[in-house]
């Protein structure tokens, strides 16, 4: 069973960049099966899809966040990362990394999730 | 960006049946939206119940089923149990971007 673990600062200053890393264990980030995904959840609110990155570096982002989001993969460390720039209090949320299975013409489950990490944007 | 709508809350009696729905502001939900259903309990990460409209995971109880119903994606819970009390989210694909519904809080009472 693959395991994912988020890491990064729990407090970010407004207007700065939020940076999180997800470390994958029990599986390879090189796997062509998975789309490495970030999802967030503001306290007491619903889920929001941020985007995903494929091992090739190909990405898709939420259009509402696209201008501020950058994702990357580090195959040497079996990690993928999220950068969200120009943050405001509205970006305060629990951030989850997850692995979404993708097939040639369909999609499979999100079969592994990190435990989530709370990032607070405040001065 | 599309808006995905769910009932904010539903209540079901133990042993009863409830259907949650997931609609799209762009029109009818189809299999091409690859509908997902997630269950989330307090303090936990979501877990996939259904993917691609009706496909269950190995951990999905048999009492949950997914379908398309009246232009929406639907999650039916038949024989509700207290353990099913949770928030349920749907997720739809819009050609490379994905959008979550606002979630449905299911109470078993």
Q: What is the structure's pLDDT at A83?
A: 98
Q: What is the structure's pLDDT at B99?
A: 98
Measured between alpha carbons, how far is residue A102 from residues A15, A50, B34 in Å?
35, 17, 11
Q: What is the structure's pLDDT at A68?
A: 98
Q: How far is B52 from chain A (nearest CA, A)?
A: 6
Q: What is the structure's pLDDT at B96?
A: 83
Euclidean distance between CA atoms B98 and A48, whole angstroms = 9
The segments of chain A whose pLDDT lies below 50 read: none
Across the interface, whether the CB atoms of B99 and A108 are under 8 A apart is answered: no
The segments of chain B whose pLDDT lies below 70 read: none
Q: What is the structure's pLDDT at A31?
A: 85
Q: What is the structure's pLDDT at B73?
A: 98
Which residue is associated with the tokens 């089923």?
B65
Say whether residue A65 is in contact with chain B using an 8 A CB cutoff: no
Task: Please list, in sequence order, all residues whose beta carbon lies within 8 angstroms of the beta carbon of residue B11, skipping any fewer than 6 positions away.
Answer: B18, B106, B107, B108, B109
Euclidean distance between CA atoms B62 and B77, whole angstroms = 9
């Amino acid at each position: 069973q693959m395991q994912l673990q988020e890491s990064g600062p729990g407090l970010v200053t407004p207007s700065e960049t939020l940076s999180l890393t997800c470390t994958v264990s029990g599986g390879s980030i090189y796997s062509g099966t998975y789309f490495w995904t970030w999802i967030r959840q503001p306290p007491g609110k619903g889920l929001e899809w941020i985007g995903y990155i494929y091992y090739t570096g190909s990405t898709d982002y939420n259009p509402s966040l696209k201008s501020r989001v950058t994702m990357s993969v580090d195959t040497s460390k079996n990690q993928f990362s999220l950068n969200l720039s120009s943050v405001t209090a509205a970006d305060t949320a629990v951030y989850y990394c997850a692995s979404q299975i993708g097939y040639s013409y369909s999609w499979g489950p999100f079969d592994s999730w990190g435990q989530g990490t709370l990032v607070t944007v405040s001065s | 960006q599309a808006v995905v709508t769910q009932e904010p809350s539903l209540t079901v009696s133990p042993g009863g049946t409830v259907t949650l729905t997931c609609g799209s502001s762009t029109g009818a939900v189809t299999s091409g939206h690859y509908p997902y259903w997630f269950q989330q309990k307090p303090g936990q990460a979501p877990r996939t119940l259904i993917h691609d409209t009706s496909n269950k995971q190995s951990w999905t109880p048999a009492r949950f089923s997914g379908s398309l119903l009246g232009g929406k994606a639907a999650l039916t819970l038949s024989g509700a149990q207290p353990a099913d009390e949770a928030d349920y989210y749907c997720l739809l694909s819009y050609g490379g971007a994905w959008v979550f519904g606002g979630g449905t809080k299911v109470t078993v009472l």
